[in-house]
Amino acid sequence: MKELKVTPIRNGTVIDHITVGMALQVVRILRIAERGASSTVSVLMHVPSAQMGWKDVVKVEDRELEPREVDRISLIAPHASVNVIRNFNVEEKRSVTLPSEVVGILRCENHNCISNTEEPIESRFRVVRKEPLLLRCAYCEREVTDVLSNMK
């Protein structure tokens, strides 16, 4: 039986240990389709993992993630790791960390919240609980019920 493997990338980012079933959401968060990928993006789903049982992996060639993108990923894949690849070598490896406050990433579900008006402020959510994730708006105290739908 012939085994197919994903080829290594020369430069870019590998997001590993993504919660199983969330790889396509990671691709959405990174806005791959909106930006128009000029390099290969590999999505591996339901991959065996000694550490997690099962995991997803996303490989993005020729792109390193911005800190805010890593914060977005931490909201849906809190156990993920981000590996920066340069010249086929892992140059940097770090675990995503859920910040204590999420700034400018989500919209408040309360349409009357000051963060949804013309005021020059960024949305702010405090992390009340990490698992299961519970975020609360710093301005109106509304809890976020759907993180993915409210990402900016």
Architecture of domain 101-150: Roll (2.30)
Neighbours of 29 (CB within 10 A): 21
Q: Which amino acid type is present at position 50?
A: A
The pLDDT, as a whole number, for residue 6 is: 78
Q: Output the pLDDT for position 37.
A: 64
CA distance readout (Å), 126 to 15, 33, 68, 100 = 25, 30, 16, 6
Q: Where in the chain is the domain with CATH 3.30.70.140?
A: 12-95
Res 92: pLDDT: 96
CATH architecture designation of domain 12-95: 2-Layer Sandwich (3.30)
- Give start-end residues of each CATH 2.30.30.20 domain in the chain: 101-150
Q: Torsion over CA of 91, 94, 96 and 98, rounded to 10 degrees?
A: -130
Total residue length of the chain: 152
pTM, rounded to two decimals: 0.86
pLDDT value for 38: 77
Per-residue pLDDT of the chain (152 residues; tens, 9 = 90+): 666 677 889 999 999 999 999 999 999 999 888 876 678 899 999 999 888 899 999 999 999 999 999 999 999 999 999 999 999 999 999 999 999 999 999 999 999 999 999 889 999 999 999 988 999 999 999 999 899 999 98
